[in-house]
Amino acid sequence: MATFLPTFSTPNPLSFRSKSLLLHYNKRFTVKCNAAPPPPLPPAVQTFWKWLSDEKVVSSNSPAKPGIVAEGLGLVAQRDIGRNEVVLEVPKKFWINPDTVSASEIGRVCDGLKPWISVALFLIKEKLREDDDYSPWRNYINILPESTDSTIFWSEEELSEIEGTQLLSTTLSVKEYVKNEFLQVQEQVILPNTKLFPSPITLDDFIWAFGILRSRAFSRLRGQNLVLIPIADLINHSPSITKEDYAYEIKGAGLFSRDQIFSLRSPIPVKAGQQVLIQYDLNKSNAELALDYGFIESTVDRNTYTLTLQISDSDPYFDDKLDIAETNGTKAVQYFDITLGRPLPPKMLPYLRLVALGGTDSFLLESIFRNSVWDHLELPVSRDNEEVICQVVRTACRSALSSYRTTIEEDEKLKGGDINRRVEIAIAIREGEKKVLGHIDGIFEEREKELDEYEYYQERRLRDLGLVGEQGDIIFWEPK
């Protein structure tokens, strides 16, 4: 399951982003973890299932049905399910997307709105409907959670647990973005149309809808960038499924039908009574998982930090540097996601060297080098240049590390204690970020130690001209 919204980057000039499976116990239901029979379905879920059964979307023979699981609600196999077997098929009529909104009573006032905003308004409108004002969508809305453990729902006190992290600045940027969008839509759509929106709509309602979309909408589907698929969106995530493909798709409803259906398959064999699970997104960092869904994984490589590098506007060579950067697929402000235990992104060192280029190395910025300069930047340019990039990165890492309230050792001690899920997520996130910062610092510490061993541009040039021997000795010619 992937999300649809703009990505948010952190504001620090040299900033970085951070990710274990921590099971989520949804506040809606109580889960007892023992071999007892599964807990009965809450009335809202039973009504939802009956609605879908009456509409022939599901039947008593469906391979899976809703169940109460550790993650809240989930899809539980009613019989053994094979790998790639279809678990559910949901016809288009039951999807909620911008087209659903356009065709609804609020459609005429939602035209032209961003897709997510029109769907958010639709969800809120349906949620706030009076009981006597029946709408079938109510069956779905009633099973949606009031919140998740996404950081957008955290209290100030909970957020203080991620002080100093990139996740905190991203969360605050997201909330600010949602607030601004809310204020705008409130003024332009909600308040001028009180007949359509008779109940007051608050920022909290809007944040709820945003959280629902962010955690449940399917994207990257044929022709559908933002769509809620009731019942299919009960599928939970498993970190042990490492194949993302083929879990879901949109296809034709049949040879003689123009309708479309959303089809969900199980990526692995599932025994009766077990939960059907998928991989939401292999590429999301723990910070992204925490923001979008309110859980994280213990997988090491979900820990990332985003380093933001920039060619300064006041750099005397700004235009030349920007031209070189853009010709080589980078920008004036460039983000590099650094993952724990992995090498640096390939373009990071050349970009850093470009940003730091100056003094006697600046001849490389001349136009005659334009086609070859990036190749030169792939390797150390000069001792000065290489030393500067090591110092800049190491200083930034140390400064970022000093903004966390706890050390890795203190975080380690807190783990396993009597802490709630959100604090558990907070500890893992801040520990993960610090580990990545330590990893980056370590890489540049090594480089700093090796400054005297690198071959720099001038030596490479002399060697290419045959003026340096294999051992680095300069070859002299006696004048004839």
Ligand X SMILES: C[S@@+](CC[C@H](N)C(=O)[O-])C[C@H]1O[C@@H](n2cnc3c(N)ncnc32)[C@H](O)[C@@H]1O
The Cα 81–Cα 222 span in angstroms is: 26
Asked if 216 is part of the footprint of ligand X (rule: CB under 6 A), the reply reads yes
What lies within 8 Å, CB to CB, of 58 at 6+ separation is: 49, 52, 65, 88, 231
447 is in an annotated binding site: no
CB of 80 to ligand X, least distance (A): 22
* Edge-to-edge strands, sheet with 72-77: 64-69, 72-77, 275-278, 236-237
**Residue in 17, 19, 24, 435 binding ligand X, rule: CB under 6 A:** 24
Whole-number Å distance between alpha carbons of 317 and 322: 8
302 annotated among ligand-binding-site residues: no
Which residue's CB comes closest to ligand X?
A: 72
Number of chain positions touching ligand X (CB under 6 A):
20
Q: How many CA atoms lie within 13 A of 397 on its CB side?
A: 21
SS3 of residue 471 by DSSP: coil
Q: Rounded to the nearest 10 degrees, what angle do helices 166-185 and 115-127 cross at?
A: 70
The helix or strand, by DSSP H or E, that contains position 38, with its residue range, turns out to be none
Q: Choose between 39 and 346: whose C-beta lies nearer to ligand X.
A: 39
**Residue 279 binds ligand X, judged by CB under 6 A:** no
Rule CB under 6 A: say whether 125 interacts with ligand X: no
- Nearest residue (CB) to ligand X, 278 versus 338: 278
Contact 8, 177 (CB under 8 A): yes
> Was 280 annotated as part of a binding site?
yes
Q: Is residue 140 part of an annotated ligand binding site?
A: no
Nearer to ligand X, 94 or 293 (CB): 293
Q: Which of 9, 12, 14, 21 binds ligand X (CB under 6 A)?
A: 21
Residues numbered 244 to 273 that lie near ligand X (CB under 6 A) are none
Strands 72-77 and 64-69: antiparallel
Q: Does 233 bind ligand X (CB under 6 A)?
A: yes
Q: By CB under 6 A, is residue 145 in contact with ligand X?
A: yes
280 catalytically annotated: yes
Interface with ligand X includes 237 (CB under 6 A)? yes
**Contact in structure between 425 and 168 (CB atoms under 8 Å):** no
- Please identify, among the stretches 9-17, 20-28, 154-162, 411-419, the one whose residues bind ligand X according to the rule CB under 6 A: 20-28
Dist CA 162 CA 170 (whole Å): 11
**Length reported for the chain:** 480
Residue 251 has which token pair?
């296809």
Q: Which residue has the tokens 């678990």?
A: 87
Among 41, 73, 87, 231, binds ligand X (CB under 6 A): 73
Does position 66 interact with ligand X (CB under 6 A)? The reply is no
Among 25, 140, 177, 280, the active-site one is 280
Q: Is 275 in the site for ligand X (CB under 6 A)?
A: no
Distance, CA of 33 to chain centre: 30
Asked if residue 295 binds ligand X (CB under 6 A), the reply is yes
Binding site for ligand X (CB under 6 A): 1, 21, 23-24, 26, 71-74, 145, 148, 215-216, 233-234, 236-237, 293-295
Q: Point out the residues that are catalytic.
A: 280
